[in-house]
Amino acid sequence: MSIDMSQFHQVFFEECFEGLEAMESGLLTLDMGDIDSEVINTIFRGAHSIKGGSGTFGFTVVAEYTHIMETLLDEMRDGRRKVTQPAVDVLLGSVDCLREMLTAIQNEQDVNDASVAKHKSALEVVLNGGSVPEKLATPVEQESVKEELVINTAPEVAQEEPIESQEQGWKIAFCPYLDLLKTGNDPVRLFRELNELGELTTIVNIQDVPGFYELDPEECNISWDLKVVGDISDDEIKEIFNWVEGDCEMEIQPLTKTVKAASAEKKNDSEPVSVIADPLPSPPAAPVEVKPKVAAEAKKSSAQDSDNEAAKATTAKASSIRVDTDKIDTLINMVGEVVITQSMLGLVGENFSMDKVGQLKRGLAQLERHTRDLQQSVMNIRMLPISFVFSRFPRLVHDISSKLDKKIVLKLVGENTEVDKAVVELINDPLVHLIRNSLDHGIEMPADRVAAGKPETGTIELKAYHRGGHIVIEITDDGRGLNKDKLLAKAIEKGLVEENNLLTEKQIFELIFMPGFSTAEQLTDISGRGVGMDVVRRNIQSLGGNIEIISELGKGTTIAIHLPLTLAILDGQSVAVGEETYIVPLVSIIESINITERMLNKVAGKGETFRLRNEYLPVIRMRGIFNVNSGNPTKSKEGVLVVVEGQGELCCLLVDELLGQQQVVIKSLEANYRRVEGVSGATILGDGSVALILDVPGLVRFSVR
């Protein structure tokens, strides 16, 4: 009887990726020259498990590669070889290579043989006692090699006979701005339309693509040199690019000259086959050259497949979750209780009479209690330690600090703090951007730190803890801090604020989150392009959270992210505004006060305030904000002030009345409609009507404008 081994593949890949995380973490903690047997054994076991599993499932390329790693680690474990920084760097690169290989196999794609050969060669050099001749390719460089391999496999082009022809058409230099994709434009659609006009040849310039960890998927970092051959008018070309006018730099030149396609000779496998007879001038970095037929395949492999690969990787990560057996046992017990209660209610309903009303009420109350416990038990299953996110950053700090020639230590605090699985999956990108900013802009160079009386080694602390119904993630560095005067001067220079505006320290720091705002004196491939922080805030707000900055010049900066523990359910207070019902998150409410309109104070040019224990708080009339005019008009002259807190600030929401507290299931408004200022989502009430869930931090920001 044969066994279908593919049914075990998913578990195998999950265990492999966990092993790679453990190997990477262990390599980053190794002390040079010293043999920490426990750490070495952990790394060795990870490699050994991957090797054994790969051999079992027939992934021989992974097993053969891991065997070389295992040999090197075995010599370190036995004390036959010292731990050196070059060896650790090679092993870290090998972990990246293994991750790439396993991801490709998992997604049923071809393994990048060039990358594997390069890393295998580096391992063999270290094993033979030599030094690595060159730095191993970064993940982005590996992607470039993969892309070149796809393009270079075009044997049918190499066999074409020499042809002389008169070309008519256009040369187009197309360089999109970074924000092109955010406007909803897609260059691929433009290229499809060009290809319909004539024969399209494309040169992709990828020299400006940042490293893998620096890559922002919402930015367009590549440009194209296009050549379209055919009887095409200037107006037809311009009509296609009308959609991106103002979002790119573009130059269109006529193409009318005789070209000769040279007969391609047999070349080495390592040499790319040029498929363009007369390529356009290009920057020093070699562009990827693509013919129309190959272009479609290249687009499919480099654009669509990369998206599919990311989607598959995300699906793979989201498809399973490891849960403590105690949580499963609790869930089973809760289900048993619900079944018993349901059975009891069924018996009551079979021969119902009025004398059984009391028994029915008790049964319904018991069902409500069990349902709430069941819900809480299910939510606990979705909770994962934040270490799933934090474990990725030691490698990031190691690589970038080495690149910047800085000495930086990363401290992780509160790694076992639990948070909803959906938050774990979505918070990674904002954290990457914030930590990169701390590495590049926050921590000074060692010489500058010594001159300022600081230790030569900078510290970044990544901390997580619970506060109320939220999780707080703090990124703290002991770097140079934020210069308020410089921030304000830059904002005035860009016309973001008027020169005579009086801004508080907090409002000045908030300028960082404006689109395109940057004080970087020099652009780097790490940061400093004036994009990203606005996207970070938007992404965090999409999770129902908020972000705030505390900084002291010369001392350092703390960025605090406040997120809900779960994105599925929240405890809310229902409030009535006219005939509409809104939900205020319970964790944001400080207190509620019955008032009349005479109790409010009007401030010229500033709206209304309410005096609460010697403090004047801004008042937001919910009828005015949401343009609610229905209902009892006398209610608008009296009502209830709901005092709420958001981002450390207090304000008052004036509503008509409080309806009651309840747990609500959160539905995304942005996914089903669009983003609305002051609203974080929606829910369906018991009567089937829809109620909006208020975004308290957004309303607080509105009140202090």
Spell out where 219-362 has E strands.
Answer: 223-229, 248-255, 258-261, 288-290
* Contact status, residue 471 vs residue 419, Cβ threshold 8 Å: yes
pLDDT in tens, 348-378: 888 888 888 888 888 888 888 888 888 888 8
Query: Between 507 and 282, whose confidence is greater?
Result: 507
CA nearest to 692, candidates 598, 700, 672, 106: 672
And the tokens for 423? 């938050």
* Contact status, residue 536 vs residue 435, Cβ threshold 8 Å: no
Residue type at position 123: L
d(CA 678, CA 701): 9
Which of 56-65, 151-160, 311-320, 496-505 is predicted with the least confidence, judged by mean pLDDT?
A: 151-160
pLDDT in tens, 576-624: 988 889 999 888 888 998 887 788 888 776 678 888 888 888 888 888 8
* Contact status, residue 386 vs residue 417, Cβ threshold 8 Å: yes
- Mean pLDDT on 113-128: 85
And the tokens for 495? 């016309």
Residue 303 reports pLDDT greater than 80: no
**Residue 360's pLDDT is what?**
87
CA nearest to 43, candidates 14, 64, 72: 72
What CATH topology corresponds to 5-137? Four Helix Bundle (Hemerythrin (Met), subunit A) (1.20.120)
And the tokens for 61? 């390329």
Residue type at position 534: D
d(CA 642, CA 412): 38
Which of 30-34, 123-127, 343-347, 490-494 is predicted with the least confidence, judged by mean pLDDT?
A: 30-34
Q: Most confidently modeled of 71-85, 150-164, 447-461, 662-676? A: 447-461
Residue 282 binned pLDDT confidence (cut-offs 50, 70, 90): very low
Q: Specify the 3-state DSSP secondary structure of 154.
A: coil
**Residue 458's pLDDT is what?**
92
d(CA 655, CA 356): 41
d(CA 258, CA 385): 65
Query: Between 129 and 546, whose confidence is greater?
Result: 546
Q: Please name the residue that has the structure tokens 């295998």.
A: 120
Residue 157 reports pLDDT greater than 60: no
Query: Between 215 and 273, whose confidence is greater?
Result: 215
Bridge-based pairing of strands 679-684 and 657-665 is unpaired
- Mean pLDDT on 450-465: 91
- Mean pLDDT on 189-195: 82
**Residue 290's pLDDT is what?**
37
Helix, strand, coil percentages (3-state) for the chain, rounded to 5, are 45, 25, 30
- Mean pLDDT on 187-209: 82
DSSP 356: G
**Residue 240's pLDDT is what?**
81
**Residue 294's pLDDT is what?**
35
**Residue 142's pLDDT is what?**
41
pLDDT in tens, 310-340: 433 433 444 567 777 888 888 898 898 889 9
Sheet holding 223-229, edge to edge: 248-255, 169-176, 223-229, 199-205, 288-290
Phi, psi of 98 (to 5 degrees): -60, -40
**Residue 383's pLDDT is what?**
83
**Residue 166's pLDDT is what?**
52
Residue 461 reports pLDDT greater than 90: yes
d(CA 608, CA 596): 13
29-57 burial: b if 16+ Cβ within 10 Å, else e: ebeeeeeeeebbebbbbbbbbbbebbeeb
Residue 474 binned pLDDT confidence (cut-offs 50, 70, 90): very high
In words, the CATH class of domain 569-703 is: mainly beta
Stated pTM of the model: 0.58
Q: List Cα–Cα distances, 613 to 426, 471, 625, in angstroms.
A: 40, 29, 26
d(CA 552, CA 535): 24
Residue 1 reports pLDDT greater than 50: no
**Residue 476's pLDDT is what?**
93
* Contact status, residue 146 vs residue 115, Cβ threshold 8 Å: yes
Residue 257 reports pLDDT greater than 70: no
Residue 635 reports pLDDT greater than 80: no
Into which CATH architecture does domain 385-564 fall?
A: 2-Layer Sandwich (3.30)
d(CA 464, CA 608): 37
Furthest-apart CA atoms within the chain: distance in Å = 101
* Contact status, residue 88 vs residue 3, Cβ threshold 8 Å: no
Q: How far is CA 673 from the centre of its chain?
A: 22
Residue type at position 678: G
- Mean pLDDT on 290-295: 36
**Residue 403's pLDDT is what?**
85
Bridge partners, 459 (sequence order): 409
**Residue 460's pLDDT is what?**
93
Percent of the chain residues past pLDDT 70, beyond the cut: 78
- Mean pLDDT on 306-312: 39
Residue 146 reports pLDDT greater than 50: no
**Residue 632's pLDDT is what?**
62
Residue 413 binned pLDDT confidence (cut-offs 50, 70, 90): very high
- Mean pLDDT on 447-471: 88
Q: Most confidently modeled of 159-168, 467-476, 622-631? A: 467-476
- Mean pLDDT on 42-56: 84
**Residue 526's pLDDT is what?**
55
Phi, psi of 433 (to 5 degrees): -65, -45
Residue 268 binned pLDDT confidence (cut-offs 50, 70, 90): very low
Residue 271 burial by CB count (10 A; 0-12/13-18/19+): exposed, middle or buried? exposed
